[in-house]
Structure 1
Amino acid sequence: MANHATNLSQKHLAVLIDADNAPAAIVEGLFEEIAKYGVASVKRIYGDWTVPQLGGWKKVLLDHSIQPIQQFAYTKGKNATDSSLIIDAMDLLYTRRFHGFCLVSSDSDFTRLATRLREEGLTVYGFGEEKTPKPFVSACDKFIYTELLREDALLPVNGSAQVDPGVGKAEVAADARKRPKAPIGFIVKILDDIADEDGWANLGTLGANITKLRPAFDPRTHGFKKLSDLIKGHPQTFELQARPVAGGTAVMYARHK
């Protein structure tokens, strides 16, 4: 692969969306999330645009410069869209122009594609609903549940997050009850494994190691904006420390009590 600058803003990503298995309501949050990892150099979406079910996507394609790829359903019950997306992904792979791929679908049929792309040393970011089969989730380097990206999603209510003023207290309380508990025991184990002699570990390194073992881990799923907020939210288990470095910034470290 050609040498590229390591700056995030220069990491070129190919975004491939399965319109049949991704709701249009995620589009704003989707590209905001992708921008955290690099530049969406290619943006393609696959589906049969002659059917009314994709009307929601048609309204947002132009605004986000997403190229629609027409794929007719030649045989009932067969998903030609998947095949078209996979063929394009392999064609893009062999151009050697990309650092990673964003596969937007809740369909496990893309499990092998994700694995193949990673075999070539590329980073794979998966985006799908919480119902996405585990094999596809595990095949990605990082997997983001699209429920967190929807325009109508409730904001986190813990840590430094602010509650949406348009959301009633009862609704917020009900949402908080639905949130799964953070995997504290798992985080503790990872933290202890990478900690220095005094028990401290760099928070960035901690997050990277968690993602390696659980690609779908996301503090937002548990009501926290960031990993640091999750750590702060469990003071009985963790300590958090900011260490200043050159340039006036600070590096966060965590320790298991």
Structure 2
Amino acid sequence: MASKPQAPRQQKHLAVLIDADNAPAAIVEGLFEEIAKYGIASVKRIYGDWTSPQLGSWKKVLLDYSIQPIQQFAYTRGKNATDSSLIIDAMDLLYTRRFDGFCLVSSDSDFTRLAARLREEGLTVYGFGEEKTPKAFVSACDKFIYTEILRASPEPQADHPSNGDKPAPALEAPKPPAESKKLKVPLEFIAKVLDDIGDDEDEWVHLGALGSNLSKLRPDFDARLYGFKKLSDLIKAQPKRFELQARVSSTSGGKDFYARNVKREP
């Protein structure tokens, strides 16, 4: 009797909440490309005082990315009413029980307790913020992505555009990509995680399991911060410390990667 085909894995439904006061519009394309790796952005809202000229760069991209702007006037100088509005909406969305996770886009530590509260309900929290983001907010998320690595590199413009076409104006001057200031690869940290999740010193560990455990211990761990596109590239570039092995998957027929620490002579 032929076995029934397995139903496709359902993607996570995510609520994306953006603090316009603490997130630059230059990240918008990379932001939603990154979010698409984790699930479907079912709700996309951005909070700020839209009467302020400071949010002009965000206004240019709202329609293109179908982001709903939420108006929040600054009632009192020195107080951020945007944060309160975002937090209230997050709790309202939480109690609908329609979402598997939240994407909080801000570098503001005021959202630390919100991230922790969402996780208490069993939801996955993805944080997006600049490298200046306080450690407390980073640690409160399941996964934290620094927005510097999401900014597109500025494309070189021709001195004289052909056919009289004018180059499209940039949203705002993006900062150089993160690869211009690569961090030192935390070799000892990766080696310890490999030892901890392997049954013995020489056991091969599936790269997916390795990546998952690295993120659990350090939510902001990302191979791109160290100048590598993927974790497999990072491991492969350290032949004196790690070994990388590719195997044919018995289910998909594609490649599965495994890693282990290089055996050290006694």
TM-score range with shorter-chain normalisation? 0.7 to 0.9
Residue 196 to residue 89, structure 1, CA distance change in 2 (3 Å): same
- Measured after TM superposition, the shift of residue 152 of structure 1 is 2.6
Q: Secondary structure at the match of 1:46?
A: strand
- Measured after TM superposition, the shift of residue 151 of structure 1 is 1.7
Equivalence for 2:153 = 152
1:56-95 equivalent positions in 2, closer than 5 A: 56-95=57-96
Q: Secondary structure at the match of 2:37?
A: coil
| Aligned partner (choices 209, 221, 231) of residue 217 of structure 1 | 221
Equivalence for 1:255 = 260
Distance in structure 2 (CA, Å) of the matches to 1:90 and 1:177: 38
Equivalence for 2:15 = 14
Distance in structure 2 (CA, Å) of the matches to 1:213 and 1:142: 10
Q: Secondary structure at the match of 1:42?
A: strand
- Measured after TM superposition, the shift of residue 200 of structure 1 is 1.3
Q: TM-score, length-normalised on structure 1?
A: 0.87
Q: Secondary structure at the match of 2:219?
A: coil
Distance in structure 2 (CA, Å) of the matches to 1:39 and 1:219: 23
Distance in structure 1 (CA, Å) of the matches to 2:69 and 2:178: 35
Query: Percent of aligned positions with the same letter in both sequences?
Result: 77
Distance in structure 1 (CA, Å) of the matches to 2:180 and 2:103: 31
The number of equivalent residue pairs is 233
Letter in structure 2 aligned against 1:61: L
Distance in structure 2 (CA, Å) of the matches to 1:30 and 1:175: 15
Equivalence for 2:207 = 203
Letter in structure 2 aligned against 1:252: F
Equivalence for 2:166 = none
- Measured after TM superposition, the shift of residue 244 of structure 1 is 1.5
Residue 105 of structure 1 contacts residue 128 of structure 1 at CA under 8 Å; is this kept in 2? yes
1:1-257 equivalent positions in 2, closer than 5 A: 7=9, 10-152=11-153, 178-197=181-200, 198-246=202-250, 247-257=252-262
The gaps in structure 2 that reach 5 residues or longer are: 1-6, 156-176
- Measured after TM superposition, the shift of residue 243 of structure 1 is 1.7
Letter in structure 2 aligned against 1:62: L
- Measured after TM superposition, the shift of residue 245 of structure 1 is 2.3
- Measured after TM superposition, the shift of residue 178 of structure 1 is 2.4
Q: Secondary structure at the match of 2:93?
A: helix
- 1:117-146 CA-partner distances (Å, limit 9, x unpaired): 000000000000000000000000000000
Q: Secondary structure at the match of 1:181?
A: coil
Residue 21 to residue 80, structure 1, CA distance change in 2 (3 Å): same
| Structure with the greater alpha carbon radius of gyration | 2
Q: Secondary structure at the match of 1:127?
A: strand
Distance in structure 1 (CA, Å) of the matches to 2:237 and 2:131: 24
Q: TM-score, length-normalised on structure 2?
A: 0.84
Residue 147 of structure 1 contacts residue 153 of structure 1 at CA under 8 Å; is this kept in 2? no
